[in-house]
Structure 1
């Protein structure tokens, strides 16, 4: 399984949703298929609202220029980067 990368272009614009979409793409399923009991909800490993807040634009509307968050989800090491990419390994 190597590294795959997805631009944070989730349909709702949130980083947390981009993570779910990246995992669904990698698993070859629709996002709506990522539900229990086959898949754990994202909120069981990370707070989606907090994840979105970390990568929200700064108070003056500029995109964050540095930082990343890494966590385990559904057997993947997920890294969300400030440049808007979601890496799955």
Structure 2
């Protein structure tokens, strides 16, 4: 079964909220935290647009691929809110 990992920014502290494509995720149901990273028990991908696909898009030709967006929201020690958007996703095979 493929798993996806997302390294957390170094200043993230519990409690924090995790969103995948704008949908709030539940800890221990949708993801686990291991060694400073989020671990999802499903395959997620972040689309990378090549130069060729970018050129096609400039002419109005669209290509669509899976593009999961992982965002984390937390409160800093000074009380201010912080959001890390579109975190990098790594896929790991079991």
Which of the two has greater helix per residue? 1
Q: TM-score, normalised by structure 2?
A: 0.29
Q: TM-score, normalised by structure 1?
A: 0.31
Which of the two has greater strand per residue? 2
Which structure carries more relative contact order (alpha carbon 8 Å, separation 6+)? 2
Structure with larger Rg = 2
